[in-house]
Amino acid sequence: MCFRVRQAAWLAMMMVALASAPSCATAATAASSHASTHAKDASKKNTSAKAKATTNKAANKTPSVPNNQRLADLCKRLAPRLPGVSVNDCKNTALVASSAQSREGVPMLVKEQAAAKGKPELRILMLGGIHGDEPTASAIVFQWMKLLQTPAAQGFHWKIAPVVNPDGMLAAKQKRTNAKGVDLNRNFPTPNWKTEAPRYWVKETGSDPRRFPGTTPLSEPESRWVNDQIERFKPNVVISIHAPFGVLDFDGPVEPPQKFGRLMFNPVGVYPGSLGNYVGLHKNLPVITIELPNSQTMPPDAEVQRIWLDMLTWIRGHVPPTSSKKAPAASKASSKASSKASTKKSAASAAASHK
């Protein structure tokens, strides 16, 4: 009897154990499910956090500023420095604030205008203000840009940079050099630059800081940009405006101009690292250097017009377009003779000229 009681009790215990087993399995499954849900939630949180971080990063990134706003901002800074140029004059030029920048991050301003349909492809690269303390050399370019829509100008393909040295132009006290103290017009890669440019700077200028050529050619973003424009645009003629010697200078393979307005042809020299030396003598492209008579005061309006018209007339008659770019042999020979005379004359007046 006792045996049967014990057996019944044992069977009851087994039944209870079997009845509770599914509950344990269910609990295990529930625990597993909870862990999986937690992992998914954590993954979602991480994804959300990453998305939020990306959004915040995008929000903090400086938005691109439209060109008209960048130009307007620059014009407000430049116009007070340029005689006879208003903010509206500057804004109405339709200049483009390019991605290229000066040493201090000022965008290089440039305007390109193609020739009228059916005209020969004659390309003009015009550069103003390579020296920041010659504001008239930039101001006159702004005046000439108003004339680009006239018939006389529409026969050419133009690329114009009115302020090549914005840092020097915008400095508290305008200066010849860029923000790093380099004379951009001594920073071009003429042959033997590494020996000739430093030697000339020390011996001929007495280490004048205003004429420091830099430590290597094309060391400056502004001179590199000009060089890049020459390589990409492939001009037939380069016009560089300076002040205050009141003359015309010329380097290159064609007959030099004799007179633009009241400015007479009078070579001011050939210097290591100068634009005229580099482009005119070693790239064999005509380079006209217009030296205005005053760096701070503009010529009369009539003279501004006359220089412009004489310049266009000379280019039309002496510079061959791209299709016939090779200059006549006689002109080349004459130009070489002129260059030699220029070099001889510059030796006597180097201390005073320094274009």
> Catalytic residue positions?
291
Of residues 23, 214, 178, 57, the one with CA closest to residue 106: 178
Of residues 60, 73, 235, the one with CA closest to residue 161: 235
Name the phi and psi angles at 327, rounded to 5. -80, 150
Are 126 and 170 spatial neighbours (Cβ–Cβ below 8 Å)? no
CA dist., res. 246 & res. 248, Å (int): 7
CA dist., res. 318 & res. 297, Å (int): 31
- Alpha-carbon Rg for the chain in angstroms: 36
Strands 287-291 and 237-242: parallel
The full DSSP string for 125-154 is: EEEE-SSTT-HHHHHHHHHHHTTTTSHHHH
CA dist., res. 278 & res. 280, Å (int): 6
Are 168 and 93 spatial neighbours (Cβ–Cβ below 8 Å)? no
Four-CA torsion 138, 140, 142, 147, nearest 10 degrees: -150
CA dist., res. 330 & res. 169, Å (int): 41
29-54: string of b/e by CB count within 10 Å (b at 16+)?
A: eeeeeeeeeeeeeeeeeeeeeeeeee
Are 281 and 258 spatial neighbours (Cβ–Cβ below 8 Å)? no
Of residues 120, 107, 114, 2, the one with CA closest to residue 65: 107
